Amino acid sequence: MTLYSRFFKRLIDFVLSLSAFIVLLPVFLVVTLLLAIANNGKPFFLQPRPGKHGHIFKVIKYKTMNDKRDVNGELLSDAERLTPIGAFVRKTSLDEVPQLLNVIKGDMSLIGPRPLLVEYLPLYNEVQRRRHEVRPGITGWAQVNGRNAISWEQKFQYDVWYVDNISFLLDVKIIFLTILKVFKSEGISAEGSVTMDRFKGTPHPQHEASK
């Protein structure tokens, strides 16, 4: 592990995330107000996610979907529950702003593998599990190489590659590529869906061959 990843990365994370949050505070307040109106006073939700070494923390997220249910009490589909302001927040990647607070706290980094659902932990294979060797990030190598428009397997390959190649110059490159992606609104959704399908595990090669 390099000196950058052991010390300077966390220092840069803290300084940049605190500065960014102060600059974006007016936007943060306006979006929070609009989402509170759209979601009956609930602009945020906290969700447990695995961090470095699988340590569970609560990620702060904007609530971009309402809680509308069908006649049987089941939640409607993601597409039906996504509010207009929620769609705008996702398209512009403003949904990532609250996570600056997680970076300031030290739960996350600006750059790293995205923190995924806790339920995925037992589904990773030995290689995929290595994504938890570093702090999860607001953006990462997988995000600038397709985000939700690529398969889970591709995403994890990018995550592990980042773990093995982490450096200051790589992080700077990812930041600039992220800004470019935000302006182009690329890779926000999987094809034909407003959200990414859930990860169900990577089939073992022998299992696939037996089908």
Q: What is the pLDDT of residue 192?
A: 40
Please say whether the beta carbons of 171 and 111 come within 8 A: yes
Please indicate, yes or no, if residue 199 is contained in any of the structural domains.
Answer: no
Please indicate, yes or no, if residue 207 is contained in any of the structural domains.
Answer: no
Domain total of the chain: 1
Please indicate, yes or no, if residue 84 is contained in any of the structural domains.
Answer: yes
Q: What is the pLDDT of residue 21?
A: 95
Going by C-beta distance under 8 Å and a sequence separation of 6 or more, which residues neighbour residue 76? 68, 69, 70
User: What tokens were used for 177?
Assistant: 């590529």
Range of the domain at 118: 3-194
In whole angstroms, give the CA distance from residue 135 to residue 6: 11
Please say whether the beta carbons of 163 and 113 come within 8 A: yes
Please indicate, yes or no, if residue 88 is contained in any of the structural domains.
Answer: yes
State the chain's mean pLDDT as an integer. Answer: 88
- From the CA atom positions of the chain, what is the Rg in Å? 18
pLDDT per position as a tens digit, 173-205? 999 999 888 777 665 444 444 456 789 888 765
Backbone angles phi, psi at 140, to 5 degrees: -165, -175
